[in-house]
Chains A and B, each alone.
Chain A
Amino acid sequence: MSSAATTTYVLRGARPLGGEPVDLVLSGGVIAEIAPVGAARAGSEGDGTVVVDATGLVALPGLVDLHTHLREPGREDAETIGSGTRAAAAGGFTAVHAMANTTPVADTAGVVEQVWRLGRDAGWVDVHPVGAVSVGLAGQQLAELGAMADSAARVRVFSDDGKCVDDPILMRRALEYVKAFDGVVAQHAQEPRLTEGAQMNEGVVSAELGLAGWPAVAEEAIIARDVLLAEHVGSRLHVCHLSTAGSVEIVRWAKGRGIDVTAEVTPHHLVLTDDLARGYDPTFKVNPPLRTAEDVEAVREGLADGTIDIVATDHAPHAREDKDCEWAAAAFGMTGLETALSVVQQTMVDTGRLTWADVARVLSSAPARIGRIDAGEHAQGRPLEVGEPANVTLVDPAARRVVDGAGQATASTNTPFQGRELPGAVVATFLRGRATVLDGAPVPAGADARGVRA
């Protein structure tokens, strides 16, 4: 399809998972060779080989996001599958799961196939649609889970994200039903009555600001119920974006009990607190809300000890007018694809809580396994070994950059890190051997990689 697909890349001096430097050779869509620095057998410049000076760069398996909002179909003014997946590539991702709360909702085989095809045609990352659990996210009737599983999109993750499946019978049936095709229900845990009108975390800050509070127990009560339901029916449960110390405790308890539950935390819940609401800047309005410093510490601890399996972005782009307004009127959500890796480096690697090998686990292999995309022709989250698909991200951990939403690849600018300096930068991303990002700049499918570099 493109000349770039036949390009051989030699990543000279790259450090797989932060280890000793090697030459990584990507050819024919796979990792063709791993050799001592300077010893790669691949040809020299001029015969279709591009040598990338990767000295000091960490090589990770391509990142996998289990929780992305791409907004297409329906809100292409906020994001399209094209712009969102380009942002994903810029952030070091090679696969994303696209949430179902689009317009129309991704609750049929037709819509998930449409999303899947648009993602494939854009060519930046593999797009795996998430199917809705209930028709129209209305929480009343199961969507056609089996048809979505059998479709070209091969859906394995089902979620009404944005809304909680609060009816315990519907939740039970969904957990049971997806066992037929090894699916997983990803729950947005938010007890609806306890959060009616809620605008931010309930606590000292909400009391001061006069914004309706969103208690931690509204999240924790649903997670507690769901782990018990998952245990009862012997099914897989995934907890989306948990945000409180109590939620971490419940998941820790459930895992100790042998319940098949996995959990994710967002980058923003690893670092930001509800104090940021004090300026009434709706950039910081998000669901679940930013919590307290104690909660931030607890989710970091949970991620470090494996209670929390993965980091997922909950990338939620919004049109400017949906954020440029009163807090109560503003949309919930923040962008995240292009800052996720930096935030994980800042909060977990630079603080000594995770190694780069752990980062590969929480941002690549574990989300791929939860989403059941870790095997087959388009396998993601695989180890950096000879013969594996050449999904590789090169990170410069020594880089520092000031985040500027306007300069990002996503179509929206609602980043909570605007103006902040973050460590680390994605230098290159390879999707099955083809560069989607080189020298930190996106490379459209079909572009000649050498031309871009020159």
Chain B
Amino acid sequence: MRHLLSTQDLGRADAVRILDTAAQMAATQSREIKKLPTLRGRTVVNLFYEDSTRTRISFETAAKRLSADVINFSAKGSSVSKGESLKDTALTLQAMGADAVVVRHQASGAPHLLAHAGWLDAAVVNAGDGMHQHPTQALLDAYTLRRHLSGTGLTAPGASGPDDAAARGAGLDGRHVAIVGDVLHSRVARSNVHLLHTLGAHVTLVAPPTLLPVGVQTWPCEVSYDLDATLAGDTANGGPDAVMMLRVQRERMSGSGAGGGAFFPNPLEYSRKYGLDARRLGLLAEHAIVMHPGPMNRGLEISAQAADSPRAVIVEQVANGVAVRMAVLYLLLAGSDETDVAPASAAQPVPAVERVPAS
């Protein structure tokens, strides 16, 4: 793996390897000393053209726990907005000796361009580009799903803990995941559809027709306009083992005026038809979990009861994000060998440790 640009580039073996590596990374994070020396002397640049404090902090934490030097380059409001091109920025990062560039950009394809235009030698990690892809989000979602849904058996969340050991090497074969909401504008949905399919899961996209892209029929998933029917298991795949709610960008969605996108009549109708509330929560199987990439619009796509229920693994998704991003940076920068990245043995040399606050 040279870059991580899209989940479509990941084969099943690659994907499982990242998830297994993430499990090892997660294990180190329960130690008193969380920091590994693995990427000492390497430089990771967080190049963010779009504000996303959550994603940036997650990548920053991941890189620091691997002892990499981290440079945060917030391109928003910097010289970029005065017309400095992506190319010029790339050449600067090349001159600075960046080993990996984590890029968030409002333009679909910008990470692809950085990786392939010949401006830069660094490994490029896509941290979200336009409406295209957000592969580490999909990987952390898959990791979270795998902890809860594979291995020894399906249990209700909270009834017994998720099982990392049992999940090792596993995919998500036969599991059913419903992804609900604004698929049209969602890089999270695009990334997840392909990755979950690669890992053997069935995916149903649920949205009003206005929020599904033309061309979605070629994606490896089912499409439904009816959330209640999907949750009730009226589909070929039965009821979902997980429901992933997507954020609705309310400001640009509703309204019928010249400025509004008019994707749906109003927020109330949207939440009635596509919001996850207590009643719909009751339609889910015992073991099924509720996910959301955050930040949530409580009361629009997800009610407070649903967001705060024991089924919701939304906070865990955030924590898993660090482990998954550690795994990705490790695999891109440190290794193609098959050895364990973080053996549980105490013999591992960890010089000059430094405490990093948990996120």
Contact = CB atoms under 8 A, between A and B. Distances in A.
B278 interface: no
Interface residues of B, number: 27
A451 to B, nearest CB: 42
A326 B214 CA distance: 23
Interface in B209-252: 213-216, 218-219
A151 to B, nearest CB: 38
B85 A321 contact: yes
Contact of A325 (B85, B190, B219): B85
Nearest to B108: A210
A210 B129 contact: yes
A327 B87 contact: no
Interface stretch (B19-27, B61-69, B110-118, B268-276): B110-118
Given A208-B190, A210-B187, A329 B107 contact: yes
B108 A207 contact: no
Nearest to B194: A208
Contacts of B131: 210-212
Interface string A326-366: 11110000000000000000000000000000000000000
Interface in B1-38: 8
B214 A328 contact: no
**Is the interface on chain A under 10, 10 to 19, 20 to 34, or 35 or more residues?**
20 to 34
B215 A202 contact: yes
A205 B8 CA distance: 13
B133 interface: yes
A207 B113 CA distance: 19
Contacts of B190: 208, 210
A207 B109 contact: no
A139 interface: no
Contacts of B110: 326-327
A444 interface: no
A215 interface: yes
B86 interface: yes
Contact of B113 (A199, A203, A215, A280): A280
A279 B130 CA distance: 15
B112 A206 contact: no
Nearest to B131: A210
Given A202-B215, A210-B129, A212-B131, A326 B107 contact: yes
Contacts of B129: 210
Contacts of A205: 215
Contacts of A211: 108-109, 130-132
A59 to B, nearest CB: 43
Given A326-B105, A326-B113, A328-B108, A207 B133 contact: no
A209 interface: yes
Interface of B: 8, 85-87, 105-110, 112-113, 116-117, 129-133, 187, 190, 213-216, 218-219
6 contacts: A207-B216, A208-B218, A210-B132, A325-B87, A326-B107, A328-B130
Given A204-B215, A326-B105, 12 more contacts: A207-B214, A207-B218, A208-B215, A210-B132, A210-B133, A215-B214, A324-B117, A325-B85, A325-B113, A326-B113, A327-B108, A327-B109
